[in-house]
Structure 1
Amino acid sequence: MASTVLNFSASLLTLFFFFLRSADAEIGSSNIFSMQSYGARGDGRHDDTKALVDAWAAACSSAKPAVVLIPKGKKYLTKHTTLSGPCKSSILLMVKGSLVASPERSDWSKETVKHWILFSGVTSLTVTGGGTIDGNGKIWWQNSCKTNSKLPCTQAPTALTFYSCKNLKVENLKVVNSQQIQISVEDCTHVKMSRLSIFAPETSPNTDGIHITRSRDVQVADCTIKTGDDCMSIEDGTENLHVKNLVCGPGHGISIGSLGDHSSEDHVNNVTVDNVRMYGTTNGARIKTWQGGKGSAKNIVFQNMIMDNVWNPIIIDQNYCDSSTPCKQQKSAVEVSNVLFKNIRGTSASEEAIMLHCSSSVPCHAITLENVKLTVKGGSSDAKSTCQNAEWKKSGSVSPQPCGFSN
């Protein structure tokens, strides 16, 4: 009798969960807005921009959580697209297939050339799905002044821009061959980015992997970034950024800055970069600021990093100058302070493994190196270090030891 009651109860429970799943499926299906349903061809040749915009508009108008679906096995060619909020409920952009940028530079006007896909003012947005965002950037790289100095310097689109978004998740995506920056996070709060595979050729100019500015409470984890510029660029207004489990290279490394260009006042505060492997990058852990600027870069931690054939494994440069003409000596500078380089080991591609080149008028201070061991790749010579106007101390073993050591 007891077993009969138990079996009957189990059957009721199974039936209950069956109807529950069916109801969830029905609710979910009624809130899925596929590009295919809005006329997209998905052949990689015809323009599917309107289908994406229309699917987004319908999802954004839904009072229930909605899904914008990029179906698997298809390539959707799109031009500049702005996907705006506020929306009535949360949005899930499910990228199963591929979004491919138009290869024609003429498809971008002066007003739209900064962006390919722009998300603006959206709250509770998730972008995921395992699919691909392909910037088709080759034609842009060929026409860059950094590729050919005889060409004029012009702007190029960022593949994915998130502007003024709150409660944002970007995860499980491939972002490749962006025209310029791959992913840019601007004026956003409460952001989580994870399991991203970001790739562009080493020779592609300005193709930063993840760019963050004027944003706070941002987490980046479990990403692989191979690109032609900074794996991550962290700029003005970034606060409470935590980066963990990153593989970087090729590229220019992880850079805080540049800050203070054009005499601007810039601030970066509370940044932690933890558990990173760098392979063949130009820089490793880097802070770069222009002379003439104002502001601060403070409370910064680079820790648990492995350098493999990195040209500048540890570098602070308060005299940064990315200009065709020499930069004039200036008195003001962005203050760099409370910086920790901890548990950093590996090999340098150059003899100069540590560079602390700080401002004579605003020296960097409260710089700590703890348990650092860097050697020259191949062991043909000893690693060296240089420092200027740097107030620093060490904890544990530090090799090579910067000049002007003080406890």
Structure 2
Amino acid sequence: MEGIWIWMLIMAMVAGNHAAEFNVLKFGAKGDGKTDDSAAILNAWKEACKSSEASTVVIPKGTYMVGSMAIQGPCQAPIAILAEKVRFVAPIDPARLTSHNGWFNFQGIDKFSLQGGRFDGQGEITWHENNCAAGKCGSMPINLSFHQITNSVIHSITSFDSKQFHINVLSCTNVTFQRIRISSPHESLNTDGMHIARSSGINLTQADIKTGDDCVSVGDGSEQVNIEDMWCGPGHGIAIGSLGQYNNEEPVIGITVKNCTLTNTVNGVRLMTRPASSTEGIARDLHFKDIVMDNVTTPILIDQEYCPYNLCDTKVPSRVKISDVSFEDIRGTSASKLAVKLRCSKGVPCENVVLSNIKLAYQGSDGAATSECANVKPILKGEMFPPACEVSST
């Protein structure tokens, strides 16, 4: 963690007086909420990116109407975007966002800092197109996509009402997201707060996420991901997976979630793999610690029979091996009677799953909280409520 704070200090210097400044107003931006400022901002970025010294793209206070933004590297030196007290507004019509990835696309940049900015995706009219359960799985624009970003810091941004995922992190290395706010209502389908895949050294700290899907989802190829000091809800909780759906998925290794609070979420912390997995897979060294659950449905969940929309063969067990998992110091209230559910694969049972100091109370009037296990023998430590589950093989 020391290296992260040192790097953040460096980024602060880049964003300050020590950097060459490129003010978007000098490139023709208006920031009046009416003018399309896309070209002006992109032109300022291109000039800053060519600078041989550390540079900052300065976006003064205002409302900027922008379309698809391809903010690309590599750049010649460390580079920052400073957008404090700035609101970016996307077109309501998704057809006006021509980029394949969505709205703001950051790609191929090293030593990058983004500080500030409210990114308003205006996604309300598109959410009904994201209802996969009803056979509608439209590919809608993502508010912010980070692809092949390295050694960088994203700080104090807000993503609001995205048309699909709010933030997508793909093939990134050593990137810290700090003081991130994400907001869309519970009815905003398929609007994951942050999706992380095929990335390593990702840190998410001090985040407040309210959305209609997973607050954070971790996909294949994710290694050494740390999620800390996060508030989640409404939403579907914090998920690793689902895994095993596609060919050639990469292992998930070294995921830590700690000091988080989940409120009124559909799930708590969960691991999901598909039955009839396309290929063998690995998910190991996964740790959930010091988490508060407030009226959460199924606070602790391993589901290796995850089959949304009944589009898989549940009779064929998952081939994703889950091992070295811990749930420690998890407390609060469960909205469902089944507070702990560990349902592992019959083909590759879970190994070394630890439950330690679990205190979850059921809020209903029809009995106490319960737990359920299949194809796993959990290691129990400390206080355990609900009582440890009966182990079965199915």
After TM superposition, the score normalised by the length of structure 2 is: 0.91
Match of 1:382 among 357, 368, 373: 368
Q: CA RMSD in A?
A: 2.0
State whether residues 337 and 364 of structure 2, in contact with CA within 8 Å, keep that contact through their aligned partners in structure 1: no
| Displacement of 1:211 | 1.1
Runs of 4+ in 1 over 6 A off after TM superposition: none
Larger radius of gyration: 1
Aligned length: 375
The one-letter amino acid paired with 1:172 is S
Match of 2:57 among 68, 75, 89: 68
Task: Map Cα deviations across residues 33-72 of structure 1 (whole Å, 9 max, x no partner).
Answer: 1222211222223321111110110110111111112211
The one-letter amino acid paired with 2:325 is V
CA distance in 2, matches of 1:335, 1:29: 50
For residue 268 of structure 2, give the secondary structure of its aligned residue in structure 1: strand
The worse-fitting range, judged by mean Cα deviation, of 334-343 and 324-333 is 324-333
Match of 2:285 among 299, 312, 315: 299
| Displacement of 1:303 | 0.5
| Displacement of 1:328 | 4.3
Q: Residues 198 and 361 of structure 1: is their aligned pair in 2 closer, same or farther, counting only changes over 3 Å? A: same
For residue 165 of structure 2, give the secondary structure of its aligned residue in structure 1: coil
Q: How does 1:357-372 map to 2 (within 5 A)?
A: 357-372=343-358
After TM superposition, the score normalised by the length of structure 1 is: 0.88
- Residue in structure 2 matched with residue 8 of structure 1 by the alignment: none
- Residue in structure 1 matched with residue 77 of structure 2 by the alignment: 89
Q: Which runs of 5+ in 2 are unaligned?
A: 1-12
Q: Percent identity?
A: 36
CA distance in 1, matches of 2:379, 2:264: 28
State whether residues 248 and 278 of structure 1, in contact with CA within 8 Å, keep that contact through their aligned partners in structure 2: yes
- Residue in structure 2 matched with residue 114 of structure 1 by the alignment: 101
| Displacement of 1:324 | 4.7
1:169 aligns with 2:142: no
For residue 266 of structure 1, give the secondary structure of its aligned residue in structure 2: coil
CA distance in 2, matches of 1:332, 1:274: 27
Q: Which runs of 5+ in 1 are unaligned?
A: 1-23
Q: Residues 45 and 376 of structure 1: is their aligned pair in 2 closer, same or farther, counting only changes over 3 Å? A: same
- Residue in structure 2 matched with residue 255 of structure 1 by the alignment: 239
Q: Residues 228 and 332 of structure 1: is their aligned pair in 2 closer, same or farther, counting only changes over 3 Å? A: closer
The worse-fitting range, judged by mean Cα deviation, of 378-387 and 286-295 is 378-387
- Residue in structure 1 matched with residue 21 of structure 2 by the alignment: 32
Q: How does 1:155-304 map to 2 (within 5 A)?
A: 155-293=139-277, 294-304=280-290
State whether residues 348 and 376 of structure 1, in contact with CA within 8 Å, keep that contact through their aligned partners in structure 2: yes
The one-letter amino acid paired with 1:87 is C
The one-letter amino acid paired with 1:68 is V
CA distance in 2, matches of 1:379, 1:306: 22
For residue 166 of structure 1, give the secondary structure of its aligned residue in structure 2: strand
State whether residues 304 and 345 of structure 2, in contact with CA within 8 Å, keep that contact through their aligned partners in structure 1: yes
Task: Map Cα deviations across residues 113-166 of structure 1 (whole Å, 9 max, x no partner).
Answer: 43211111100011113x3111111122133334xx667422011111110111
- Residue in structure 1 matched with residue 10 of structure 2 by the alignment: none
The one-letter amino acid paired with 2:205 is A
| Displacement of 1:100 | 1.2
State whether residues 113 and 155 of structure 1, in contact with CA within 8 Å, keep that contact through their aligned partners in structure 2: no
Q: Residues 328 and 316 of structure 1: is their aligned pair in 2 closer, same or farther, counting only changes over 3 Å? A: closer
State whether residues 274 and 318 of structure 2, in contact with CA within 8 Å, keep that contact through their aligned partners in structure 1: no
The one-letter amino acid paired with 2:113 is T
CA distance in 1, matches of 2:260, 2:294: 11
- Residue in structure 1 matched with residue 304 of structure 2 by the alignment: 318
